[in-house]
Each structure stands twice: as structure tokens, then as C-alpha cells.
Chain A
Amino acid sequence: MTRRQSIAPAFLLLLIVTAIISIGTGAVSISPREVVESLFGTGPKNHSFIIGEYRLPRVVLAMLAGAGLAVSGAILQGMIRNPLASPDVIGITKGAGLASAIVIFLFPKSPAYLLPLAAFGGAAVVAAILYVYTARKRVQPATLALVGIAIGVICQAGIQYLMVKNPGDVNAALLWMAGSLWGRGWEHVWAVLPWILVFLPIAYSLANRLDVLSLGDEVAEGLGEDVTRLRVVLLVTSVALAGACVAVVGSIGFVGLLSPHIARRLVGGKHALLLPVAALLGATLMVAADGLGRWLLPPMEVPVGIVTAVIGAPYFLYLIGREKRRGI
């Protein structure tokens, strides 16, 4: 096991520690020891209830969503060959946002399960438009990013239009769009889990081909890769992951942008290692941000998406600055 590979278990440990602390944080503070005892079913009854019904599903959901968004971002960055790409930057999250804004504002009486479905649909529509561009021969991946940005702008204008026309329900929509884990329970975990279980392994199985793609289209084709088809498969995988996560937790930014970056700095650019580490980091980041959001201004909760943005963006600037100095 090389030094780089030995980092992965270390991050698993970090994730577990973060999760235990996060589970203990909130209106009722629970010590890490009691958290562990409750998880094994030997803790005090009242705490076990709080943990089992409220805190644990939330933390599990944060892990799943963080991992999904991080891997989605890692795939996009590898495919577009630009470290600034991520599901939020290329419009996928905005598509989900527009669809859920339509549900929140135009069909306020619709049942609760419709919102995530609609969000996923919105992400899928944006993906379909992007697909039309990718499937065409010889499209530069950069063009894909620009098309995504333009779609994002249109979706944003649509969201603003709906918000201005329906001032009454604005706060619900804003909260959703900021991305929040508030009030999420086991049913949300079950909703997102299948997607993660299916598409994370698919992403992992594509890791070596992502490496080939990062050498450039000509080299990849020379090595016998059908570049256009590979891109489509990657796009679908990335969108499925991002769409499922965003549908359940709202448009959480910067996890998909930041996690692959940190992972790349720690373990290098080989996707077979990069993808799992990015997933662990994304999960850790999300769990930590959610815990922080609950702890910062009680009794108010800072939506997790805002915490990730406030922490993530300055760090991101710093990272880019370092990479610039090293001349990448």
C-alpha cells in the first residue's frame, strides 16, 4: 500500500469522527460516548430516540448527498478537463431549482413527494439539452460548460420570475434553494440511497477511462476509446448522482466543486483513487457543515448550503491560488 493509498482509510476515520460529533450537536447536546452507545443500542432511552429518529437519518443523508455531489463534480471536472466545472456551475442544479420552484409556487397543494421528483426531472431536462450538445461529433467539452452556464442563467431568470410573482411562498423556496437538511428523515435516505448504490459503483468502474480521457481526445481515441459515447455515459452518471442528491437536499453548492479539488491535491489525478477519496471528503464536508449550521446560531439553523458556500469559497480561492503558483 503506497502512502497515497493509505490516506483513504484515514479519511474514513475522519468521516466517522465528524459524524459522531455532528450527531451529538444540536438543541439537546449529547456526548460522543453516549452517541456511540446509542448507536449500538445501549444508550439512555431518550437520547436513543432523538438520535434514531432525527439525528442519524440526517447525518446519513448528509453523507450520501455529500458523496454523490463530490463524485458528480469529480466526473465533470475530469470530463470537461477544467477544475472549475461542477454540477452547480454548469446549470444542472439550477434546472432542478427551476423545476422545484414551479412546484412550490404553481402547485402549492401538491403532495410532498412531488418536489424531489420534479427537481430530478429539472436536472434531467438540463442534462438532456447538454446531451444533445455532447452527442454531436467533435464538440469541445468547454462548449458543454458554456452551454450549461447559459442554461443556468435562463433557469435562474425563471426562478426569479416565479419568486417575484408569488411573494407569499418565497421563504420556503429560498430555503430549498439554499440547500438544507432541516426536517429530513429516513424516507429521504431511502429515496436517495438506491441512486447512490447504483451510480457510485458505475462511476468507479469508469475511473480508468476517465484517466484516458484526461490525456486528450486524440490520445483517448488512439487508445481505442469511443470518446463521444464515453462522454455521454459520464454525463448521465454525473447528472443522475447530482440530480438525486439535489432533489432531496436542495441545491447545495461547492461540495461538488471543492471535494474533488482537495482530493486531487491529496492523492493526485488518478481517478481510481481520486473518486473514493473525493466521495469521503464530500461526505465529511457535508456532515461537518450541517453540524456547524446547527451549532452556530441556536435556535436558528443556518442552511447547510450556506455554510458550505461560506467555508468553501474562500478555501477554493486559496486552492486555485496555490495551483496557479505551481503553474498548472
Chain B
Amino acid sequence: MSYIIDRRLNGKHKSSVNRQRFLRRYREHIRKAVEEAVNQRSIQDLDRGEQITIPKRDIHEPNFGHGSGGKGSIVHPGNKEFATGDRIPKPEGGGGQGAGQGNASNQGEGEDDFVFQISQEEFLDFVFEDLALPNLVRKDLKEIKEFSIKHAGIVSEGTPSKLNIVRSMRNAYARRMVMSSGSRKKLAEAEAEREALLKLADSPEEKAKIAWLDEQIELFRQKIERTPFLDTYDLRYNHHVKEPRPSSKAVMFCIMDVSGSMTQETKNVAKRFFILLYLFLNRNYEKIDVVFIRHHTSAKEVTEEEFFYSRETGGTIVSSALKLMEKIVKDRYSPDQWNIYAAQASDGDNWDDDSRICRQLMEEEIVDLVQYFTYIEITPREHQSLWHAYEQVQTNHPKNFAMRHIVDVGDIYPVFRDLFQRRQHESNR
């Protein structure tokens, strides 16, 4: 006798723990591969899995075994022309067919590298590993305006609109069964007796008895029927509770210089940086708004498409963008409710007098509004006035403001990691 069991419904990820163990063990390899991928991939597919290659020797599990050399002996099938005593020259540069029988490979294909795929989720885990958002606060627990409705069981009181029909009917049925059980029992007895009498039935006495029984039966039937079909205490209602939901909203400002001096290449570097930041925020907050502000001599809020691809010419006044940002924050993103992050990218050009205004704006207004303001300067040239102005901001407000210098694409990821490295005081919180 055999038992046949359907196991398909059992979990299929029995190996997932072992897989995690494997990833943990080779995290250095994976991290390196991820780093390369982030720097080399086009922007659109930053957000997917990655193929990881690990050299076979690093992953090999050692075992005692025979090496090549010495005297080997082996039997092969499929002889065609060999005769006893034939001497066959060995193939160039190899141990010949002799010795290699021990490890008939279940290890795949010889010396190739070990290649496997990590999922998008895992990829991003590695990209943002050990990074933390500075000054992350769950805004505004007291002024909660968002609630989520949660199912909280079944109750016996409620509004008709929340009537749980199935439960109510079930209760009613049970109650009817109980309440009428006595009558039904007697009814069954009377009917049985009547059946029995009908079979012999002739004498007047018996006929009278039958008539009496008929009466009784009718009585019981009525009694059973009179049991109310639905009673108030059968009713059951679905119960819901409102649960306050802490706001975890963030808004991200992308500010970029689009003046004539910014080439498409510089913009691409900026775009990668913005996207990294966006993906990172996305992992930390449920809801993210992104505001794109581009500027030359004047600033404008634009769509993503316009932000990255339309070209403008002319001079540069950075403070215009900062003013616009401040205005948008005041209008739409109250700092009480929103976590505000900003990233500014520029090649460092600015109208000379403006840098002073920028610093003033930054120190007096913006730094207090935002969680974190990052400025990246993408230029192979010397720094100009804006950089120096911002440097002072950084010294005065090291917690909320950071700036870095990027020369080419390869710098983006290291700089990003550097900017968001988990700080000591962060991890203590």
C-alpha cells in the first residue's frame, strides 16, 4: 500500500534560509559587483536584479582527493581501433585521460566562475546597505489626520449597514434548532405512533386516538413554525476600528542648474544621483513626492521630462531656485507634516554676487526647513564662489547640510554612500 501525498502546496522556498546564508558569506563579492553595476548601468535599469559572479576558487569547498600525476588507470567504453599494447600519445598540455576520473563533475562546468542572480530587492539592499537617512523623524504624531480602517472582529451591536449576514443567519439557525427541539422531538414521536396505529387501525378507539394524534401533530407543527425566524439577538455586525497612522511622508526636491554651461553629460551624472536618492527615500518612506526645480537666471517647477531633457541657455542665478523651493515648501509641504530632503546639482557656475545671497537664504531659511540638504558639484574645474559660500554653510550646519565634489560617473556611488553613511549618533537613537 502506498501513500500518495500532494506536497505542492507546501512552501517552495525551503532553500531560502540557505540562500541567505550564502549571500551573507559572500557579501563582499556581492557588494563589489553591486558597486560596479551601479556605476555602469544606465539609469532606467538601476532598479532591477543583478548577476553576480564569484570566482570558483573563492567558493570551492575543499576536500581530500587525488591530484593529477602518478599512475592512473581507467576503463573507457566505445573502443574502435585500439588493440592491446597500443601506445597513444597524450594530447598536448594536459594530464591525458588517465587521472581525472575522481571528480566526475556534479559541480557544473569545471573552472568557470560561479554565476548567480540576485533579485531587485536584494540588489537594492546591497546598494543601500549601511546607509541611513540623516535626521529621520516620523513627523507629527500629534496632529494625525490619516487613519486606517481595520477589521476588529464581530460584535453584537452596530448599524444595519454593517450587518454580517452569514454570522447572523448562523446564529438564528442555531437558536431555532434549540428552541424548537422539544416540539420537534414530540412531533416525531407522535408521527411515529400514528404511523404504527395506521397499520393496524380499525377499532373506533384507535381511530379516536389517531384523530387525537393528528390534532397534537398540528399543534406541534404550529409551535415549531412560531419560533421566530430571526431575532434581534441573532444579529451580528462587523466591527471596524480607526487606527491613527503616523505620517511617513517625504518630499524630495531636485534642484538643477540648466544654464548653458551644463552639458547633457553633467546632467546625466546629476540624474543618476537624484535617482539613487529617490530609490533610497522610497525604501524609507511610504509616500514620496518629488519636486523638480530647474533654474538658469530664473527658476521654474517642471515635470521630470522637462527637468532632464530640455535645454536652456543663459546665465545662472542659483538663489532663484532656493527662493522657489522655499515658496513651494511654504505653500504645499508644511515641515510639520513632511520630511523634506533636497538635492542640488550644479557645475558650480553662479553669478558672482548671488552666492552671498544663496548662503544667506540657506542659513536663514532653508536649513531649518529640511531634514537634509545635499549639494553636489559636478565639474573637473576649480571651485567657484558658490562652493565657497556653501562651505561656510556646511561648517555652520554640519547636521543638515552636506556637499561633495563629483568629477565623473564613477564618483557618484561612492559620494552617495559617503553622504548617507550611517553616522554614529544616528545608530544610537
A joins B in a complex? no
Residues of A within 8 A of B (CB): none
Chain B positions within 8 Å of A, measured between CB atoms, are: none
